[in-house]
């Protein structure tokens, strides 16, 4: 009835006002997105029609007097008893902060449209989902290419180092032979081949 509705509005405004001098906590956009996703997930567990149709049915189920608006107590009943979201998952303070963000005009009530807009925040569109998958695929491809490039670079550096070591050894052997420190000439050894040389 109208009298009950006016009473609920007054009770909502009074009970959700901040205590002391601290301003009331209002949920951020990130908090609204997170909680909306949680509500949609819980709703999908027991309803065959997730999405706008399911939101509307849930709203009407909780809206006992058929006014088209919900009080905080009705929202709390929906969250705790219908969606089965416990206080360990969403505290009472967090739920009140969500309510304050939805009840922007401070009327103490939210409409079906406001509730629907809130629930829509927790639904990822097909376009967004496709873009997300494309971004992940590109990131994976880039990671693979970087890994391949690193392996090729490491192999090239290893070959260059082996080439330099072989040249140094040959130079030391020639120096030792020229100064009589060694009787074995490096020229009598089989010709040196780079590890990068191809064998036919």
3-state secondary structure 171-188: HHHHHHHHCCCCCCCHHH
Question: What is the Cα–Cα distance from 82 to 42, expressed in whole angstroms?
Answer: 9
Residue with tokens 């992940």: 136
pLDDT number for residue 90: 96
Contacts of residue 152, Cβ cutoff 8 Å, sequence gap at least 6: none
Per DSSP, the three-state class of 138 is helix
pLDDT number for residue 17: 57
Does residue 16 register a pLDDT over 60?
no
Q: Do 108 and 12 meet the contact criterion of CB atoms below 8 Å apart?
A: yes
- The neighbour count for residue 37, using CB atoms within 10 Å, is 15
Q: What is the mean pLDDT of the chain?
A: 80
Does residue 50 register a pLDDT over 90?
no
- The neighbour count for residue 3, using CB atoms within 10 Å, is 7
> Checking DSSP bridges between strand 69-70 and strand 110-111, what pairing results, if any?
antiparallel
Architecture of domain 2-125: Orthogonal Bundle (1.10)
Residue 53: which of 119, 122, 127, 121 has the closest Cα?
119
* CA distance from start to end of the chain: 96
Does residue 36 register a pLDDT over 90?
yes
pTM for the predicted model, two decimal places: 0.54
pLDDT band at 169 (very low <50, low <70, confident <90, very high): confident
Six-digit token string for 120: 């829509």
Average pLDDT over residues 44-50: 79
């Amino acid at each position: 009835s109208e009298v009950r509705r006016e009473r609920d509005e007054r009770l909502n405004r009074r009970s959700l006002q901040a205590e002391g001098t601290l301003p009331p906590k209002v949920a951020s956009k990130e908090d609204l997105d997170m909680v909306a996703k949680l509500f949609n997930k819980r709703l999908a567990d027991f309803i065959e029609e997730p999405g706008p149709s399911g939101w509307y049915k849930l709203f009407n189920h909780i809206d006992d007097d058929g006014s088209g608006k919900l009080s905080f107590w009705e929202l709390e009943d929906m969250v705790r008893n219908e969606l089965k979201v416990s206080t360990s998952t969403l505290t009472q303070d967090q739920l009140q902060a969500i309510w304050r963000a939805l009840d922007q005009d401070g009327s103490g009530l939210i409409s079906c449209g406001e509730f629907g807009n809130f629930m829509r925040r927790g639904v990822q569109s097909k376009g967004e989902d496709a873009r997300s998958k494309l971004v992940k695929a590109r990131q994976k491809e880039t990671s693979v290419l970087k890994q391949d490039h690193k392996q090729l670079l490491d192999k090239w550096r290893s070959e260059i180092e082996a080439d330099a070591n072989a040249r140094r050894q040959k130079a030391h052997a020639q120096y030792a032979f020229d100064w009589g420190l060694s009787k074995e000439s490096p020229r009598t050894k089989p010709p040196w081949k780079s590890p990068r040389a191809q064998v036919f």
